[in-house]
Homo-oligomer: A and B are copies of this chain.
Amino acid sequence: MIDSRLRILQMVAEHGTVTAAAQALHYTPSAVSYQLRQLAAEAGVELVAHQGRGIRLTNAAHILLRHAERVQEQWELTRAELAALGSEPTGQVTLCGFSTAASRLLPPAAAGLRDAHPHLTVRIIEAEPDRCFDLLLSEEADLALLVVTADSPPMTDRRFDQQPLLDDPLDLVVPQGHPLSWRRRVTLADAAGEPWIVGHPGTTYHQLVLAACMSAGFTPHIAHHADEWATGTALVAHGFGVILVPRLAQLGQESPVTRIPLRGEPAPARRIMSVTRLGAREIPTLTQAVDTITATAARLLPKPDGG
C-alpha cells in the first residue's frame, strides 16, 4: 500500500548504497536508481548527491523519509481499524523469524491462526534477523521474531514496534564426562579457557556467542566454525570444544554430550523480540499470534526457577 518508491528510498537510507538496497529488495541497482529518479522528479527535488563512488541522501530525502514513516504508521492504524471492523480476518498474514523461532515458536501460532480463521492464509518465512526487518518494511511479513544483534535498528526506530518477548537462556554443551559436567553451578566464565565452536562470522549465532562471552568478561578462543546445531554438537561430542545453545534449540540425541544450564547474574540468555511495523501490533490477528507465541514459549521454557 505504501508507495513503492518511498519503500525504495527507505531501503537506500537503511543500507547506504543503491546496490545494497537493491539486494534487500530483490531488485537490480538499475531499477532502484530509476525509481529514485522518478521519485525525485515527482517531488521536484534532488534526492541523492554523489559522494565518492556512492551516494549521499540529501536533506529533501530525509524529509521524504519522515513522510514515509508517518504514512506507514497511518496505514497500520487503518489496517487495524479495518481488522477491528469485525468480520472474519481475510487475506494473508505472514510471520517470519530466525531458525529456532521458525521451527519451534511460529508453527503453533500459525496453526492457531489458520484453525481460528478459515479465510486467512498464513505464511511463515525463515529468515535471519536483518532480513526480517526488510521483510517487515516491504510488507512481505507482518510479524517477526528475532534476536537482537548489533545490526538491529535501535528500539527508537519509528518504523518498528519492537517488544521483548522472552529471554531464552543459554546452555553450555560439553562432551560427556567433561569436568564442568559435574559442577553444581556453572557460569559462562568457567568455560573461558575452552576451545569454542561458533557460527561463521556475520551470522547471528556468531554475534550471539561473542556478545555473551564478552559480557562474561572474556574473549573466546575460537577453534571451529559450525552454523548448524547438529554439526556443533557432533564436534563437541568428539572433543573439539564447547558450544553455547539457546534453551529453545533442540539437539539431536545422536551425540553423547552434556547440556548444562548456565548460571550468573543475569543468567546468559538471548533476548527474543517480537517486531511489527509501528502501529500494526493492534491488528487482532497479530495480537493473537503474539499471545500464542508467548504461551508456547512458556510451555517450552517451563518456569525459570533459580537464576
By a beta-carbon cutoff of 8 Å, the part of chain A in contact with chain B is 1, 3, 41-45, 59-60, 63-64, 66-67, 70-71, 74-75, 78-79, 81-83, 85, 87, 89-92
Contacts and interface: CB of A to CB of B under 8 A. Distances in A.
A190 to B, nearest CB: 53
Complex copy number for this chain: 2
Contacts of A67: 74-75, 78
A82 B1 contact: no
19 contacts: A1-B3, A1-B42, A1-B43, A43-B79, A43-B82, A44-B89, A44-B90, A44-B91, A44-B92, A45-B87, A59-B85, A60-B82, A63-B85, A64-B82, A66-B78, A67-B75, A71-B71, A71-B75, A74-B74
Contact of A74 (B41, B42, B71): B71
B82 A63 contact: yes
A87 B66 CA distance: 20
Nearest to A74: B70
Given A43-B79, A63-B78, A71-B71, 8 more contacts: A43-B82, A43-B91, A44-B83, A63-B82, A67-B74, A67-B75, A67-B78, A74-B74
The prevalent SS among residues of A at the interface is helix
A49 to B, nearest CB: 13
A84 to B, nearest CB: 10
Given A59-B85, A71-B71, A64 B44 contact: no
A91 B41 contact: yes
Contacts of A71: 71, 74-75
Contacts of A66: 78
Kindly list the 8 A-B residue pairs having the minimum CB-CB distance in the complex, ordered from nearest: A44-B91, A67-B78, A44-B90, A63-B81, A45-B82, A70-B74, A71-B71, A60-B82
Contacts of A92: 44
A78 B66 CA distance: 9
Given A74-B74, A78-B67, A85 B42 contact: no
A17 to B, nearest CB: 24
Contacts of A83: 44
A81 B68 CA distance: 14
A3 B72 CA distance: 13
Nearest to A79: B43
